[in-house]
Structure 1
Amino acid sequence: MAMAIESIPIIDFADFGDGTSPEAHEIGKSFFKACKDVGFAYLINTGIPQEMVDGMFDWSAKFFALPLSTKQKAPHPPEGWKHVGYSPIGLEQVSQMIFDPTELASIRKGKYPDYKESFDIFGQGPTKRFDNVWLPESDLPGFRSYTMKYWDTCRQFQMERLLPALALGMGLDRGFFNGYHGDGNNQLRLLHYPEGPVEMFESGEKGRMGGHTDFCTCTMLFQDDVGGLEVECPGREGIFVSVPPVRGAAVFNIGDFLMRWSNDILKSTLHRVRAPPRREGDGGKTRERFSIPYVCHFVHSPTRGRKC
Structure 2
Amino acid sequence: MADRLVPVISLRDFEARREEITKQLVEAAEFAGFFTLVDHGISVEEIEAQFALSKTFFDLPAEVKGRTPHDRKTNNGWEYKAQLRPSTGTYDQKESLWLMRSSQWPSDTDVPEFRKTTEHFMAKCASVSNQVLSCFSAALGFPEGHLTTANDVTRADCMTQLRLIHYPPSENAVGTWRAGSHTDIGCLTLLFQRDGEDGLEICPGRESYTSFGMGDTFTPLPAKTGPIVVNIGDMLMAWSDDRLKSNFHRVRAKDTGKSPSRYSIAYFNQGRKDFLLQGPEKKYPPITVGEWFAESVARNFGRQVATSPS
Q: What TM-score do you get using the length of structure 2 for normalisation?
A: 0.80
- The separation in 2 between residues aligned to 1:53 and 1:146, in whole angstroms, is 10
The aligned residue for residue 99 of structure 2 is 121
Deviates more, 1:141-150 or 1:235-244: 235-244
SS for the counterpart of 2:165 is: strand
- The separation in 1 between residues aligned to 2:82 and 2:2, in whole angstroms, is 36
- The separation in 2 between residues aligned to 1:11 and 1:168, in whole angstroms, is 18
Deviates more, 1:170-179 or 1:46-55: 170-179
The code of the aligned residue for 2:173 comes to M
Measured against aligned partners, the alpha-carbon deviations of 1:39-60 in whole angstroms (never above 9, x if no partner) come to 0000111111221111000111
- The separation in 2 between residues aligned to 1:66 and 1:260, in whole angstroms, is 40
The code of the aligned residue for 1:145 comes to K
The code of the aligned residue for 1:232 comes to C
The aligned residue for residue 11 of structure 2 is 13
- The separation in 2 between residues aligned to 1:41 and 1:11, in whole angstroms, is 7
SS for the counterpart of 1:140 is: coil
Query: 1:18-167 counterparts in 2 under 5 A?
Result: 21=16, 23-77=17-71, 79=72, 81-88=73-80, 90-95=81-86, 107=89, 112-124=90-102, 132-159=103-130, 161-167=131-137
Task: Determine if contact 2:9/2:21 at 8 Å carries over to the other structure.
Answer: yes
The aligned residue for residue 128 of structure 1 is none
The aligned residue for residue 148 of structure 2 is 178
Deviation of 1:143 after TM superposition, in Å, equals 1.2
Measured against aligned partners, the alpha-carbon deviations of 1:141-191 in whole angstroms (never above 9, x if no partner) come to 2112211111111112222x1211222333443222122122353110000
Unaligned runs of 5+ in 2: 207-213, 278-287, 291-310
2:162 to 177, 188, 207: 188
Deviation of 1:123 after TM superposition, in Å, equals 3.0
The aligned residue for residue 249 of structure 1 is 227
- The separation in 2 between residues aligned to 1:64 and 1:4, in whole angstroms, is 30
Task: Determine if contact 1:123/1:185 at 8 Å carries over to the other structure.
Answer: no
Task: Determine if contact 2:174/2:255 at 8 Å carries over to the other structure.
Answer: no
Change (3 A) 1:275 1:297: same
Change (3 A) 1:270 1:4: closer
Q: Which runs of 4+ in 1 moved over 4 A?
A: none
SS for the counterpart of 2:98 is: strand
The aligned residue for residue 287 of structure 1 is 260
SS for the counterpart of 2:86 is: coil
SS for the counterpart of 1:209 is: strand
Identity of aligned residues (%): 33
RMSD: 2.4
SS for the counterpart of 2:12 is: coil
The aligned residue for residue 180 of structure 2 is 210
Task: Determine if contact 1:220/1:252 at 8 Å carries over to the other structure.
Answer: yes
The code of the aligned residue for 2:146 comes to F
